[in-house]
Structure 1
Amino acid sequence: MDVYTRILQFSRLVKKSPVNVGSRTAVNLSYTIVTRPDNDPPDEKPPLIICHGLLGTKKNWTYLAKTIHAVTKRIVVRIDLRNHGLSPQTKSHKYEELAEDVLQLMTKLEIDNASLIGHNMGGRTAMSVALMKPSAVASLIVLEMSPASTSAEFTTLFPRIMEAMTAVKLKEKRKVHKARKEVKEQLKNAITNEVIMANVLTNVNVKQDGTIGWTCNLETLMRHFKYISSFPFSLDKGKKYFGPTLFIGGQLSEYIPADDLPRIRELFPKAVVKFVPGAGHFVHRDEPKAVLELVIGFLNDHSE
């Protein structure tokens, strides 16, 4: 039985109850598998797992995931990280925990070895998985995030956005698109970047209680932002990931400063750093073609 078939069969059995992993509690993440036509041959390349950024969801990566799958033929799994999208909400949000969530999902789907790609918070999650369990990571791609420092924009912009989100007054709606329109109107002065606005609006959806509202856990994300905005100290002490690693930054962004490159290569000795001309922090949205070329080329070069 090929990897793809095993994953599809197991995905029907996934439950949402927490499962203990080590000394912490991992949660069962919501995920979507990019399917392939039935006539495609089985592909045993390491699957690609995509981790979105702060206040994003797996839906942000729909187009890119489908394109990567179509070109590389490998399985692509988009996930909602904890406290985001359709994944469970918890009272804690630390990178070690996010990494354990991903590792648990890999175990459930019987994925022994996967390539990981993550943007922003998702990039640090992917880095954490690679440092915590290098054998589980075939290759690593990090978009717009460093393990050595945190952009001043990140530490100031995202708290302001979340504060504005908590102030939204949403009347009872029966249609998600109408609720998003109302939220957008209330946030237009606080969020002027169209890409950030689009990301934030994906969090307006049907909640587990059937009402429409924020599906991200703003309370925990705001309370634990100090952990989100810094790389975990426990993973910055003597751990290394020696697998193929690609860092992708936007040329107009300051999230991967030149001063961080020595530390990046200490933790990830095989790291290659590329900057996309004309792109900002949301590099994969600003210049999707350029990012796809880098990602697909990297995956094809490291397909084993």
Structure 2
Amino acid sequence: MRTAALQLRPLHASFLASPITPRSGPLPRRVSPKCSRSFHASASWRTVDLAFDVHDNGGKATGAPIVVLHGLFGSKKNNRSISKALARDLSRPIYAIDLRNHGDSAHHKIHNYTVLADDTEAFLKKHNLKDATLVGHSMGAKTIMAMALRDPSCCANIIAVDNAPVDAALASDFPRYVEGMRRVEDAQVKTQKDADQILEPYAKELPVRQFLLTNLIRDSASSPLRFRIPVRTLAHALDDMADFPFTDPEKARFNKPALFVRGTRSHYVSDETLPIIGRFFPRFELVDVEAGHWVISENPEGFRRAVVEFLEEGE
């Protein structure tokens, strides 16, 4: 097991000439895309307007903006506490957004990194957010990586949390979560307790179930509970969430600062992926935080310190 490291570790120098190699052993397997996916240079007709919260420390945070993207099945509410802390520590406004098909943002049948990046890029332009730091966890991490590689001018730097720029199968937990959520909806439950009992065989850990069940809403007092996220749409998108739209670091590279934060008990950013990260992001730094995949919620203080150190060092 890797030990937690809260000191930034520059790793780019030794990886610039390293070949890209597939993963092996118990790590997530490489998967071949079913078809080639285009990644356009500008926002398209599929763009969704994104819901968001602003945390600016009571108006005292006036520096360059930080935009925070959640992971699959999450929402801007998951990042409320860390956003308030970072706004206070860095005196920079934090924009916590809901990606499409999540939280209060609109639903759309297309859900892949092309359109997620389109949506977020349109959000930056709509709100005139310049020189922003983009922070993303898991699904959000791949989204900001894709944005940075497509158009490096879209941001000042990125912080990618527990994901890497590779095509790799999602952990088997995610399909089980989807199946459990489907069964909750089919049962038309009236209480959170009933929903939790149905979901338990598919998500053994109570914190994970509590996280998933934050998506339950009720349309009226007499209505059954339902998930506000389109469960079936996201189920069909799991392969796309494992994918990454860039494969050649000779054609797409982000030469600005990048921080990669990984959980010590997570397999999403293995040592084998570090050469790949270094070729796409030659100025990247790495921090290990004692946590599993849900780094921000499992160890918010470790994550906060890593982010503050990285951003203050760059000033």
Indicate the TM-score class for this superposition, using the shorter chain for normalisation.
Answer: 0.7 to 0.9
Amino acid at match of 1:295: V
Equivalent-residue separation in structure 1 for 2:64 and 2:284 (angstroms): 19
Choose from 147, 150, 171 the match for 2:165: 147
Is 1:86 the counterpart of 2:104? The answer is yes
Instruction: Tell me if the contact between 1:28 and 1:101 (Cα under 8 Å) persists in the aligned partners.
Output: yes
Choose from 9, 32, 56 the match for 1:35: 56
Instruction: Tell me if the contact between 2:56 and 2:88 (Cα under 8 Å) persists in the aligned partners.
Output: no
Is 1:67 the counterpart of 2:85? The answer is yes
Choose from 215, 218, 229 the match for 1:203: 215
Structure-2 residue corresponding to 1:190? 202
Equivalent-residue separation in structure 1 for 2:249 and 2:48 (angstroms): 24
Instruction: For residues 130-157 of structure 1, give each alpha carbon's deviation from its aligned partner in whole angstroms, at most 9, with x where no partner exists.
Output: 112211111100111011243x5x3421
Instruction: Tell me if the contact between 2:137 and 2:161 (Cα under 8 Å) persists in the aligned partners.
Output: yes
Structure-1 residue corresponding to 2:285? 272
Equivalent-residue separation in structure 2 for 1:112 and 1:235 (angstroms): 27
* SS at 2:110 equivalent: coil
Distance 1:185 1:71, change over 3 A: same
Structure-1 residue corresponding to 2:298? 286
Equivalent-residue separation in structure 1 for 2:284 and 2:82 (angstroms): 22
Q: How does 1:92-241 map to 2 (within 5 A)?
A: 92-150=110-168, 154-168=170-184, 169=186, 171=188, 173=190, 179-206=191-218, 212-233=225-246, 238-241=251-254
* SS at 1:146 equivalent: coil
Equivalent-residue separation in structure 2 for 1:215 and 1:165 (angstroms): 11
Instruction: Tell me if the contact between 1:131 and 1:235 (Cα under 8 Å) persists in the aligned partners.
Output: no
Instruction: Tell me if the contact between 1:59 and 1:202 (Cα under 8 Å) persists in the aligned partners.
Output: no
| Larger helix share, 1 or 2 | 1
Equivalent-residue separation in structure 2 for 1:272 and 1:285 (angstroms): 21
Amino acid at match of 2:52: Y
* SS at 2:142 equivalent: helix
Amino acid at match of 2:288: F
Equivalent-residue separation in structure 2 for 1:138 and 1:54 (angstroms): 25
Instruction: Tell me if the contact between 1:195 and 1:285 (Cα under 8 Å) persists in the aligned partners.
Output: no
Structure-2 residue corresponding to 1:25? 46
* SS at 1:112 equivalent: coil
Choose between structure 1 and 2 for higher RCO, CA contacts under 8 A separated by at least 6 residues. 2
Distance 1:170 1:128, change over 3 A: same
Amino acid at match of 2:303: V
| TM superposition shift of 1:171 | 4.1
| TM superposition shift of 1:243 | 1.1
Equivalent-residue separation in structure 1 for 2:159 and 2:218 (angstroms): 31
Instruction: Tell me if the contact between 1:207 and 1:215 (Cα under 8 Å) persists in the aligned partners.
Output: no
Paired residues, number: 271
| TM superposition shift of 1:92 | 0.4
RMSD, aligned α-carbons: 2.2
Distance 1:234 1:83, change over 3 A: farther
Instruction: Tell me if the contact between 1:170 and 1:213 (Cα under 8 Å) persists in the aligned partners.
Output: no
Equivalent-residue separation in structure 2 for 1:196 and 1:134 (angstroms): 35
Equivalent-residue separation in structure 2 for 1:300 and 1:141 (angstroms): 13
* SS at 1:167 equivalent: helix
Equivalent-residue separation in structure 1 for 2:80 and 2:93 (angstroms): 13
Choose from 253, 270, 274 the match for 1:257: 270
Distance 1:236 1:227, change over 3 A: farther
Instruction: Tell me if the contact between 2:43 and 2:119 (Cα under 8 Å) persists in the aligned partners.
Output: no
* SS at 2:156 equivalent: strand
The answer for unaligned runs of 5 or more in structure 2 is: 1-41
Distance 1:296 1:165, change over 3 A: same
Equivalent-residue separation in structure 1 for 2:131 and 2:257 (angstroms): 13
TM-score, normalisation: structure 2? 0.80
Equivalent-residue separation in structure 2 for 1:60 and 1:197 (angstroms): 14
| TM superposition shift of 1:237 | 6.5
Distance 1:61 1:235, change over 3 A: farther
Instruction: Tell me if the contact between 2:100 and 2:108 (Cα under 8 Å) persists in the aligned partners.
Output: yes
Equivalent-residue separation in structure 2 for 1:22 and 1:142 (angstroms): 22
| TM superposition shift of 1:26 | 0.5
